[in-house]
Amino acid sequence: MHAIRLHGVEDARFDDVVEPELRQGTVKVKVAWAGICGSDLSLYQHAPVPLDYANPIMGEIGPKTLGHEFSGTVTEVAADVNGIEVGDLVAVQPNFADGTCPACVRGEPNLCRNFAFIGIHGWGGGFSDYVVVPADHAFVLPEGISLEVGALVESLSVAWHAVKKSGATVGSTALVVGAGPIGLGLLLCLKAIGAEQVIVSELSSSRKELARTFGGDVVDPREVDLEAYVRSVSAGGVDVSFDASGVGKPTLQAALNSLRPGGTSVIVAEFHGEVPIDPNLFLLGERALVGSFAYTAEDFSEVIAAIADGRMSPAPLITSKIALADSVERGIEHLLREGRSTEVKILVSPALLRTEH
Amino acid sequence: MHAIRLHGVEDARFDDVVEPELRQGTVKVKVAWAGICGSDLSLYQHAPVPLDYANPIMGEIGPKTLGHEFSGTVTEVAADVNGIEVGDLVAVQPNFADGTCPACVRGEPNLCRNFAFIGIHGWGGGFSDYVVVPADHAFVLPEGISLEVGALVESLSVAWHAVKKSGATVGSTALVVGAGPIGLGLLLCLKAIGAEQVIVSELSSSRKELARTFGGDVVDPREVDLEAYVRSVSAGGVDVSFDASGVGKPTLQAALNSLRPGGTSVIVAEFHGEVPIDPNLFLLGERALVGSFAYTAEDFSEVIAAIADGRMSPAPLITSKIALADSVERGIEHLLREGRSTEVKILVSPALLRTEH
């Protein structure tokens, strides 16, 4: 079968690989769709996982298959697995924990010190024809959720987890800085839990348009004084804010300065380098800054339930569908060049034929 | 009567003032002891409250009496007040809220947008002979708590509130950066709630000694690599940390870098200027930075209960006792010069005679 594997910095190849075999406790998934994530771009640019590094959970060395946001159809089920059947449509939770480290023991498996991801550390990835995954990481999609939308569950779980970390609840006011895939996901999740008002700060016109479609109160910070606007419409500041852009000082400070006393700001984006903050903003108003990393099985279940019962309708996040063979040039490299301002989520399919171009 | 009133920058005077009169709902307190706080030093140096500013709760203009950490004996009780009697020994909670702002409605009166302090914004202050205070802000000291220790309740409530904000609990590990009055208070409060290990970083030898007396695991960061030490003794990082020094980048980063994944750092000190942080420390480990400001009535009650039942024995915090008339030169100015490294808490008494010097 084929797989997009990362061999080094800016070296991802459309390789011929051996089809994975069923093991105890696993199911085999024929990949339908796999989303390209901001962290795939970062992996491509920096190749942070050395080829000779074996993650303690996955134990693999060598080039790894990319793709950690994916859905598919179950084609084989190990004899010891119950509750999942051939033909089921599933979304795969790609992160794993060792279950024994202090974070795991505290009940925070997403912070496991040996955390491992399908699509980063081993056990294949969504940018391939087949993946064999532990059965408890394959979430059956209920009737009415398509495989395309199933491929969005992973990135929505990132946003869902962050919204829970923020403490937002019914009636909350929120600011989301940056309307990329995660920022728009935050908007959807905030609306799904009953947030009253979600202000979204974004520059790209297509992303602004999508944020409006999702019910966001959209502000272009080049045209409007964002912090003044937030204070004017939210009685002195929002309950929660999110930096989903990772730009740096202007975005993180906008997120912090827009909080009411006692409010919480969540970092959901990767940053490059240090950012200055004003500690007195924390001291005098008991504001909080917290990080949110990945998700747990609970987040996956809750996102699927919210889509199933209509609280979230995320399908418009999908802006392009491309063939697996094209996923580097027309996917990753396109997003690194000009695509970030026009695309939101690009889905890759092994079933699509390569486009001649 | 006499009072130390702030007339402007570095202009605090030993003034003759009119003795305050009992009003409905108040008690009159003959001040026994009043502590000098780091914020008194800041008020003295910067005089941030303009003489013509009338706080919405207190409504006073003109020079204000200093002193917000004080105890005394009740000498008069308004006819409409129950539950407190002439002769009762009390500690006074000096902060007030308007009860109607969004923070008050949320149940966070310490974050009231119109917050007011006796000793800063009006209604007299502890650096005087008498103060008339609303009866619900006078906390009767149980048998066995002296008036000297009663004057420590306010600063211990700052620490108590911060420990609650941190989420520390029985068995927690902690780092406290800076063993001044608040840092040592944090150590006492952490031990009182059952923290397993409290590492204290401090330079001054007398403060280090006191921290050891209180059961702290004391480190001098000039002699030991603090972050490496913390990681080595706490399985990869402490549960909670506190910057009680406000020095800036080295102390705040030490507090953040010493946290385990999922840990919380609390800012309890005033800082001067911005401090750079690494957002990825938050993102990847879901670490949190929160501020803690002042206290509520609940904190006051809990601190008094913890002293009364022996969980805290804070008397050694008191390093000097001086006369009210000496409180500027031998108190505030002494602390601003050389006193910070040798003193912890200086108490002022209107009953002490002025020392000739």
Residue of chain A whose alpha carbon sits nearest to that of B106:
A262
Contact criterion met (CB below 8 Å) for B78 and B20: no
Contact criterion met (CB below 8 Å) for A349 and A129: no
* pLDDT greater than 80 at residue B355: no
Residue of chain B whose alpha carbon sits nearest to that of A284:
B293
The full DSSP string for A167-224 is T--TT-EEEEE--SHHHHHHHHHHHHHT-SEEEEE---HHHHHHHHHTT-EEE-TTTS
Rounded to an integer, the average pLDDT of B317-324 is 97
* pLDDT greater than 80 at residue B354: no
Question: What is the tens place of the pLDDT at every residue in B153-194?
Answer: 999 999 999 999 999 999 999 999 999 999 999 999 999 999
- Phi first, then psi: what are they for B306, rounded to 5°? -70, -30
The full DSSP string for A8-42 is ETTEEEEEE-PPP---TTEEEEEEEEEE--HHHHH
Partner-chain contact B293 A284, CB within 8 Å: yes
Question: What is the tens place of the pLDDT at every residue in A127-170?
Answer: 999 999 999 999 999 999 999 999 999 999 999 999 999 999 99
Grouping H, G, I as helix, E, B as strand and the rest as coil, residue B147 is helix
User: Could you tell me if the ipTM is greater than 0.85?
Assistant: yes
* pLDDT greater than 90 at residue B349: yes
* pLDDT greater than 60 at residue B146: yes
- Dist CA A254 CA B309 (whole Å): 46
Q: How wide is the angle at C-alpha A250 spanned by C-alphas A249 and A256, nearest 5°?
A: 85
Residues of chain A with pLDDT under 50: 356-357
Residue A98 zone, left/alpha/beta (φ > 0; ψ -120 to 50; rest) = alpha
Tokens 């006792």 identify what position?
B321
Partner-chain contact B286 A235, CB within 8 Å: no
pTM for the model: 0.95
Partner-chain contact B165 A293, CB within 8 Å: no
Rounded to the nearest integer, the mean pLDDT of chain B is 96
Contact criterion met (CB below 8 Å) for A294 and A270: no
Contact criterion met (CB below 8 Å) for B171 and B194: yes
User: In b/e form, how buried is each residue of B196-205, taking b as 16+ CB within 10 angstroms?
Assistant: ebbbbbbebe
Task: Kindly list the residues from chain A whose CB atom is less than 8 angstroms away from the CB atom of residue B260.
Answer: 102-103
Task: Kindly list the residues from chain B whose CB atom is less than 8 angstroms away from the CB atom of residue A270.
Answer: 280, 283
pLDDT at B357: 47
H helix or E strand, kind and range, residue B43: helix B38-46
**β B11-16/B2-8 pair status:** antiparallel
Name the H helices within chain A: 38-46, 102-106, 147-150, 153-166, 181-193, 205-213, 226-233, 249-257, 279-285, 297-308, 334-337
Partner-chain contact B289 A286, CB within 8 Å: no
Question: What is the tens place of the pLDDT at every residue in B23-69?
Answer: 999 999 999 999 999 999 999 999 999 999 999 999 999 999 999 99
- Phi first, then psi: what are they for A24, rounded to 5°? -55, 140
Tokens 């000009």 identify what position?
A338
User: In b/e form, how buried is each residue of A140-171, taking b as 16+ CB within 10 angstroms?
Assistant: ebeeebbbbbbbbbbbbbbbbbbbbbbebeee
Selection from A6, A92, A102 nearest residue A53 by Cα: A6
Q: Does A233 touch chain B (CB under 8 A)?
A: no
pLDDT at A357: 47
Partner-chain contact A286 B246, CB within 8 Å: no
pLDDT at A355: 59
Contact criterion met (CB below 8 Å) for A89 and A140: yes
Grouping H, G, I as helix, E, B as strand and the rest as coil, residue B71 is strand
